[in-house]
Amino acid sequence: MKKLWNRDFILLLQGSAVSTIGDLMYSVAIGYWVYEQTGSTSLMGIMSAISMFVTMLLSPFAGSIVDKCNRKWVLVGMDLLQSAVMLTIGILAYLGKLNVPGILIAAFLAALGTVFYSPAASTLMIDIIPRDDMVRGQSIFSGSSSLINMVGTAFSGVMVAFFGVPLIVVINGLSNLYSAISELFVRVPRTVHQGETVTVKGILNDYKTAVKVIFADPALRLFVPFLLILNLLAAGPMSLILPFCMEKGFSVDMYGYLMAIWTAASLVAVLILGVVKLSAMARFLVLSISFSLSVVFMSLGYLSDSFVFVCIFAGVGALLNSAGNTVFNASMMLALPEENRGAILGFVQSACVGGVALSTVIYGLICDVFPVYIVFTVGSVISLIPMIYFCFHPKTKEFMLTH
């Protein structure tokens, strides 16, 4: 019987962890470089927009291509691409020839690598983790990422100040190279369509098939539009937490503490789910209750003027939201049909990222006119209506009980 902590899982986990550390330090370093060189914070927004735009448009097609390829070489190739990009950026920084257009091109290439890497890694996870341990496996993966982000956020600034931007960028390139080497030793099962010729017509047909499968499946037909709607209504505040804190009169240090508590609470949720094996009914209850209550607690946090209470409510809300996402994502992975798993996963990811991108823009525009905390609270209250409908819908319950 396959165990959760098998060789392939450990190799993929540690390779991903090292790469995540490098990516985190790079994001801080390159943000510092851009601000120091240009004094512009909007460029960071443009870099994020590039990533979301590429993901939103290419995810469905990238998933189809991944279904036809050897996923090991997709993982290795994308890590090598990102390694080459980062090492090039690092060398240019050392030579004093790095410029903003180069940074934006690097952001595009990195996003391109991620959009192919993500469906390959996600579908591979389904094959190397025992089906009855999917929630624990997903929790461990998410937990390691959350832990790295929590610790890394605190020390990245110090690392950049100590080592300098060029060396940090080079370290990120080497971390991607290490991840690629680790993935060479992962045993990757063949997919149903592996070896088929990749053509534009074939990709479009796979896209049409994915859409048909989604609309033919009652659960997926419910999930995709609701994932778009819920992300549209509720995801925007995450990009505007700093102005929210400033509006409340909190210091930048307090903002850092709040984000650390947010990440730590999410980590606690995935660690608990990584240890505890839940029954099907328990997974449904975690999903429905956690998602619904998370919106309530986040709204209470937005309305509070006390930093302590904001931290408490935000921490509880983050913990509940992370728990709901973990069990839902695990069930979703198990439900995807193997023959076009990548294409469907890409379509779902596109809906999620599209909702986040639109939410970020809409919340930003509205918050220029109205107080941030009011916009956050109203958006959360509105999102509670579709959230409750989604969580307690009979199809959602049936889906969670059978996957």
Proportion of the chain above pLDDT 70, given as a percent? 83
Q: Residue 316: which residues within 8 A CB-CB, separation 6 or more?
A: 265, 294, 297
CA-based nearest residue to 291, from 376, 377, 213, 396:
396
Is pLDDT of 369 > 70?
yes
Which has the higher per-residue pLDDT, 6 or 337? 6
CA distance 147 to 266: 9
Q: Residue 354: which residues within 8 A CB-CB, separation 6 or more?
A: 56, 228, 231
Q: How many CB atoms lie within 10 A of CB 140?
A: 21
CA distance 146 to 142: 6
Is pLDDT of 316 > 90?
yes
- Every domain of the chain and the residues it spans: 1-132+142-198, 207-403
Tell me the per-residue pLDDT of 370-396, one tens digit each, with 9 for 90 and over: 888 898 889 888 988 888 888 888 888
Q: How confident is the model at residue 362 (pLDDT cuts 50, 70, 90)?
A: confident
Which has the higher per-residue pLDDT, 13 or 31? 13
Q: Indicate the CATH number of 1-132+142-198 among 1.20.1250.20, 1.10.230.10, 3.40.50.300, 1.10.3470.10.
A: 1.20.1250.20
Is pLDDT of 173 > 70?
yes
CA-based nearest residue to 271, from 152, 140, 145:
140
Tell me the per-residue pLDDT of 253-304, one tens digit each, with 9 for 90 and over: 677 678 778 878 877 887 787 777 778 788 888 888 988 899 899 999 999 9
**pLDDT on residue 43:** 61
Is pLDDT of 88 > 90?
yes
Q: What is the CATH number of domain 207-403?
A: 1.20.1250.20
**pLDDT on residue 91:** 92
CA-based nearest residue to 100, from 163, 57, 43:
43
- Confirm whether 1-132+142-198 and 207-403 share one CATH topology: yes
For the CA atoms of 373, 378, 382, 384, what is the dihedral angle to 10 degrees? 40
**pLDDT on residue 297:** 93
Q: Is there a contact between 145 and 284 (Cβ–Cβ < 8 Å)?
A: no
CA distance 117 to 196: 19
Q: What number is the average pLDDT over the span 232-258?
A: 76
**pLDDT on residue 327:** 82
Mean pLDDT of the chain: 79
Q: How confident is the model at residue 336 (pLDDT cuts 50, 70, 90)?
A: low
pTM of structure: 0.66
The pairs formed by 135-138 with CB atoms below 8 angstroms and a separation of 24 or more are 135/273, 135/277, 135/278, 135/283, 135/326, 135/327, 135/330, 136/4, 136/273, 136/274, 136/275, 136/277, 137/4, 137/9, 137/330, 138/270, 138/326, 138/329, 138/330, 138/333
Is pLDDT of 84 > 90?
yes
